[in-house]
Amino acid sequence: MRPSLSSRQIGVLLLVLMPGFLGSVRAQGDNLMPQPAKVVHAQGRLEISGSFRVALEGYEEPRLRAAGERIVERLARQTAIPMNSTLETDPAKAALVIRCDHAGGLVQSVREDESYTLEVTSRQARLEAATPVGILRGMETFLQLVTLDAQGFAVPAVNIEDKPRFPWRGFMIDVSRRWIPAPVIKRNLDGMAAVKLNVLHWHLSDDQGFRVESRRFPKLHEMGSDGHYYTQEEIRDVIAYARERGIRVVPEFDMPGHATSWFVGYPEIASLPGPYTVDRTLGIRDPAMDPTREEVYTFLDAFIGEMTQLFPDEYFHIGGDEVRAKHWSESPRIQEFMRQHGMKDHRDLQAYFNQRLLVILQKYGRKMVGWDEILHPELPKDIVVQSWRGQQSLAEAARRGYMGILSWGYYLDLMQPASFHYGVDPLGGGAARLSEAEKARILGGEACIWTENVDMENIDAADWPLTAAIAERLWSPAQVQDVDSMYRRLAMVSRQLEWMGLTQRISPRLMLERLAGDSDPAVLKRLDEVLAPLNCDVRRRVHHYTSLTPLNRLVDATPPESDAAREFALLVGHWQANKLKIRQQLSRWKRAGAEVAPLLQRSALLQEDLPLAENVSAVAEAGLEALDYLEHAEAAPDAWVAKQTALLDRASQPQAELWIMIVPSVRELLKAAEAGK
């Protein structure tokens, strides 16, 4: 199970309590996300025109030449000014000179130097870095600096010195629960590069699907995938695409649990005889590999041998999470093995399995990464532990000498607001009390998207722009904390991401159009803008899902965070100054709730949302009445307060897996009205 984080309401509360949330002064001219380590603004602007050209100096390689051309192509896209992307050979004639010092790792490593400097004057921009990856990071900064002013497109004169706070800044995509094809992965790699993330953690196998072609064991993908898997050629292509963008690719093959899809073709590696079918139900399943059988290690040796040919990264993720003891307990032969080896419980057996796996990984020159359940004193200190069950487990791993990355707090499927993720720091919580040497073992973190309730259509909307807030937490200095500034820049980044092909803004619109059928989706949008989905754990408890359930309801089209509700909360926080705006918004939502009802009735997929429409209207009406009392500086009568409180309590219960996100703000208005001020 995923960790049960605080409820959405608590998330909103945290956001409001967060220091700097209100009234912060934003730094001049910073549209950058993540914010660089050091920015010094200067006088002047470098004009971006159709004659913009890039020249390379110093060390050169195809990746740098491609990057030089790509930056011009992206600039042309951003500005709609036709440009020639051929590299300029004379640096004196180039608008941007890129100077790289030397080659990076043949395979990018966690130790890669990603630092860069960027100096922009009104005459020229110079981007310098030790390695190509540093150049790639600086290139994204340059593109984010482009703005339109009264004279045209330009980059402001600036001096930037930048380097990451953490070396491991990842994004995990689960492609097993739902099939996510390679082009979607590629556009997410573009998004990752744009915000300086550097590890794609590819969750390639689970109970619901095995997603990689194996030539050695073809029944893995042939029988375990419903035909949805990446060919080895596609995998190589994605890895090359990632490398071009300075991104490592760490494959995860989840073992020994979460592995039913392996057993469809190869029941002999499972603990019980089977037969097995691809498991389309969700949640934690019982099947597990049999750690007591030598043939299992022979199989895994050959399999990992094949996969390490395909995936060059020095780290290999073995999963290791949520292993159920049930099938191990039901197998007399496994029980006998445990007795003979003096193993007291299934954790000991899993540790034994991991040690055997470790030997195989070492044979192929790989280091182990696993979810925090793998932590065991028998494992060597160069493994990396990925904490998903809390910050304490990360601190504990570091204290015991292990390297770790944080994913607790970065689970995007939990539908928390960006401010929540932004407030989670790998060196916060239990880690804050570590010594400097222990802190140095914390390599960074990874945003994670599990796809029980996410598919190829809405994955971008679940991930972006949220992931950019996490990327900033992992790249920028720890003191970059201003939530207001983060949201402002998040909106800018979101627009840029769509220029790169991501679909987080367009896909919810298309989904609303599908839901609305022949009706105008604009009115549906006005309802939807105040809604937000339940987190995926809760959704699974209130509705039956399998990995084949169509994700075509309103909840699936609704982005994780309601910008409208967040902005409304800001207005209500200063209601005395914003009465008119609050009234306009509430009137609009009151009307929307009424206007959308006939549309909801006409659509089989939307009928379940009728109570939401009624509640949104009623909540808005309650807010308007509260405002009336406030405008007359009159304390609202007790009976009215009691009635409206009951209404808000009802409306704060989810319907059709959606929350109404303006309820807490209207409750604040109610409280003020009750007090008469």
For the chain, state the CA radius of gyration: 27
Residue type, 569: A
Max Cα-Cα span within the chain: 81
* Separation CA 607–CA 270 (nearest Å): 44
Tell me the closest approach of the beta carbon of residue 372 to ligand ACM, in angstroms.
Answer: 8
| Chain centre distance of CA 493 | 14
Q: Provide the Cα torsion 271, 273, 274, 280; round to 10°.
A: 10
Q: Rule CB under 6 A: is residue 202 a binding residue for ligand ACM?
A: no
Instruction: Say whether 513 is catalytic.
Output: no
Min separation Cβ 373 and ligand ACM, Å: 8
Contact criterion met (CB below 8 Å) for 473 and 424: yes
Decide: 11 and 423 in contact? Cβ < 8 Å.
no
> Site map for ligand ACM, 376-395, x if CB under 6 A?
------------x-------
Closer Cβ to ligand ACM, 406 or 618, answer by number: 406
One character per residue 303-332, x = contact with ligand ACM (rule: CB under 6 A): ------------------xx----------
Which of 413/561 has CB closer to ligand ACM? 413
Q: Is the peptide bond before 34 cis (omega within 30 degrees of 0)?
A: yes
Q: Which is nearer to ligand ACM, 289 or 597 (CB)?
A: 289
Contacts of 62 (CB under 8 A, 6+ apart): none
Compute how many residues bind ligand ACM; rule: CB under 6 A.
5
* Min dist. Cβ of residue 393 to ligand ACM (A): 11
Q: What is the dihedral of CA 72, 75, 80, 83, to 10 degrees?
A: -20
Binding to ligand ACM by residue 2, rule CB under 6 A?
yes
Instruction: Give the residue with the Cβ less far from ligand ACM, 229 or 371.
Output: 371
Report if residue 371 touches ligand ACM, rule: CB under 6 A.
yes
Grouping H, G, I as helix, E, B as strand and the rest as coil, residue 100 is: strand
Distance CA 487, CA 320 (A): 36
The owner of tokens 């998903």 is 388
Q: How many residues are there in the chain?
A: 677
Residue 2 CB, nearest distance to ligand ACM (Å)?
Answer: 5
Q: Which two tokens stand for residue 123?
A: 């005459």
Phi, psi of 585 (to 5 degrees): -65, -50
Decide whether 100 or 449 has the Cβ nearer to ligand ACM: 449
DSSP assignment of 341-378: TT--SHHHHHHHHHHHHHHHHHHTT-EEEEEGGG--TT
Tokens matching residue 441: 């073992």
Which residue's beta carbon is nearest to the bound ligand ACM? 321
Contact 405, 384 (CB under 8 A): yes
Closer by beta carbon to ligand ACM, 174 or else 457: 174
- Determine the Cα–Cα distance for residues 346 and 157; give it in Å rounded to an integer: 61
Contact 33, 194 (CB under 8 A): no
Q: Which is nearer to ligand ACM, 165 or 203 (CB)?
A: 203
252 binds ligand ACM per the rule CB under 6 A: no
Nearer to ligand ACM, 388 or 568 (CB): 388
- Identify the active-site residue in 322, 595, 614, 668: 322
Where on the chain is the footprint of ligand ACM (CB under 6 A)? 2, 321-322, 371, 388
Residues noted as catalytic? 322
